[in-house]
Chains A and B, each alone.
Chain A
Amino acid sequence: MFDRTRTLLLTGLLVTVASCKGNVELKTLGNEAPSRRSAASFVHCIEAGTSQCVTQENVSGGWDAFYLLQWMADGSPVSVMYALPGELAAHEDPRMVQQRLVGEVERYANAVRGAECDPVDSMQMAPLIDKAAQLAADRLGRLGMLEGSLQVIIEGLSAEAHEGLDGGELVRMDCNYDPYRLYIATRQFDDGVMRVLGMSTMMPTALGGDIPSRDVVDERLQSRTLGLDNGPTPMVDGGINAWLPFEVELF
C-alpha cells in the first residue's frame, strides 16, 4: 500500500516536472487516480504560461489516430470526404502530429488559464478506440463512403491508436469558463512516467461526450480560441445585405 502511494506521488511529481519546463508553481493535487492527477498537472502547466507542456517525444500518433477515428465517426461527413486524404497524409508525418497537439494546447492556453478546470471523470482508452472505429465504419458504410481502402485505413488507425493509448485513460475535466470541457488522454509509460498524449475540447456523445448548453455553445463560438470571425456578418459587394447578396436593382 505504501509503495503504491509512493508511486502515485512520484508519478504526479514526474508528470509535472516532465511536462513543464518553465518555473512553475506546483499546486497540490488531490488524492486522485494518476490519470486525473496528470491531466490536472498538465492543465496547471498550461495555466502557468509555458507553451512547452507537450512532451517533445513523438508519442502522440496514437492520439492523432484516435482523433481521426472519432472525427470519421461523428464529424462532418463533407469534411471527411474532402479532407481525409490530406489529414491521413499529415498523420503520417510525426512533426505534423506533434504540431497539431502543440497547436491545440496553444490555441486554448489563454482560455484555460482562467477557466478553473478540474478532473471529474475518466474512461479507459482501449474500449473508446474500439467504439470509435466501429462507429466510423458503420457510419461511413451507411453513407456509402466505406469504399476503396477506407476499411483498411480505419483498422490501421484503430491499431495505431491502441498501440499508443492502450492502458491509458481519457480524463474529462469540467471548467467553469470557456472552453468548459477538456478531454485529456494520458498513459503511463514503461519508465513510470505518466504522459499527456492528447487534448480535445469536445467528444462525440457516443464516446462519452455531452451536448453543451446553448449559453456554452454561444460563448464558445464567440471566444477567440476558435479564431472565428465574430464581427458583423460580412456583405457581398453590391449586395442588398448579408442575406440577399445581389443588387437591389434586381429586387
Chain B
Amino acid sequence: MIAQLVLALTTLLQPADDRSASTLSLDRITSFPNVVVNHVNGSIGTESLPVGNGVTVDPGVFVTIGQNKVQVFDHDAAVLQNGLVTDGTVAQECRSGCPAVLFDAFQYEWLKMAVEASYLDVDIATRVLFAADAAVPAQTLLMSAYAAAETRPGAVPTLSVLVNMAGRGLRAQPVFLLPPEGLELQQGSAALGLTIEFDSNEFVIRGEDATLGRSGRRGKSLADVRKVLAGVKKRHPGKDAIILVPRAGVTVGELMTLVQVIRTSYPRIVLSLGQDVVI
C-alpha cells in the first residue's frame, strides 16, 4: 500500500507537462482561482458577483456571502436572511461591534488553521478574499471583513473583494479597513482623511480640504463624485487613500461600482462601518 502511495505521490509531484520539475504544489494541477470559481459557482454563482476589474487573485481564505449564508471556505459559518445577519447579537470581544455569529465563526476557523499549522508544516493564511453577491448589503460584507480581521491571531490580514471581469474571470479588489476603534491622527500629520459616506441617493464627500467645507460636499450621482474628487486630487495630488462609508441599504454592487469609479485616482480603498476619523 505504501508503494501505491509513493507511486501516486510521485505522479502528483510530476505533472505531465513537466516531469523534471522539483517544485511541489497541487497548484500546478489546478489553480487557486479555479478552486474559488468552482466553489462560488456551487454556492452563489460567479455571475452574482459585482462586475469590475482588479488584480490577480492570490491564495487566501475565501469567504462567500450570499443571500442566505456566509461560508468560510466551504464551511457554513452564519445564516443570513436577504443578505442580513438574522441574529444581530454583538460579540463583546468584537471591537467594531460585529455580530457574535460572525465573530465566532471566523475565530473558530482561525483556530482550526492554527491547529493544523501546529501539526503540519503549513502557515496560517495572511489574506482573506470576499466573494459577495452584488445584491447583498455592503454592511454584511464589512461586518464579515471586520470579524475576519479582528479574530485572526497576529497580524491583520490583507483583504480583497472579488469582482467578475468580463472575459478575465475573477479579479481581486484590495481594500483596507479603518481600525475598529476608529482613527485618531496626531496634529501636524497633514492627513486629508478624504471620506465618502453614501447611499443610493446621496454621496457626502468630506476631508481636511477647505473646498469641502465643514459638512462636506454633497452629490447625487457618480458623475458628481468624480467631479468633486477631480478638484480634490488637483489640490492634493499625493493623497491616494479614500475612506468609503456605505450607509444601511447600500449593496455590495453599489459599493464596488463606486470603487471602480474612484480607484484610478485613489487606489487605497479604506472601508468603514462608521468608525470615526479624528484629524
Contact = CB atoms under 8 A, between A and B. Distances in A.
B183 A244 contact: yes
Contacts of B193: 251
B156 A243 contact: yes
B65 to A, nearest CB: 18
A91 B5 CA distance: 10
B153 A153 contact: no
A91 B112 CA distance: 21
Contact of B8 (A145, A152, A245): A152
Contact of A85 (B9, B115, B154): B9
B210 interface: no
A81 B26 contact: yes
B6 interface: yes
A148 B4 CA distance: 14
A120 interface: no
B59 interface: yes
A212 B190 CA distance: 46
B120 interface: yes
Interface string B109-128: 01111111111111101000
Interface stretch (B29-37, B45-53, B252-260): B29-37
Interface stretch (B211-219, B222-230, B238-246): B238-246
B166 interface: no
Contact of A248 (B7, B115, B191): B191
Contacts of B61: 76, 78
User: What secondary structure prevails in chain A residues at the interface with B?
Assistant: helix
Interface in B16-59: 24-27, 29-30, 32, 34-35, 37-39, 42, 59
Contacts of A147: 29-30
B60 interface: yes
A168 to B, nearest CB: 17
B196 interface: no
Contacts of B15: 148
A242 B156 contact: yes
Contacts of B198: none
A139 B5 contact: no
Contact of B39 (A79, A142, A212, A218): A142
Interface string B173-209: 0001111100101000111110000000000000000
Contacts of A142: 38-39, 42, 74
Contacts of A83: 120-122
B35 A81 contact: yes
Given A79-B117, A87-B122, 19 more contacts: A78-B125, A79-B123, A82-B26, A85-B9, A85-B12, A89-B24, A152-B8, A153-B9, A155-B4, A202-B111, A221-B153, A226-B117, A228-B154, A240-B183, A241-B183, A248-B185, A250-B241, A251-B185, A251-B192
3 smallest beta-carbon distances between A and B, as pairs: A85-B24, A156-B5, A144-B38
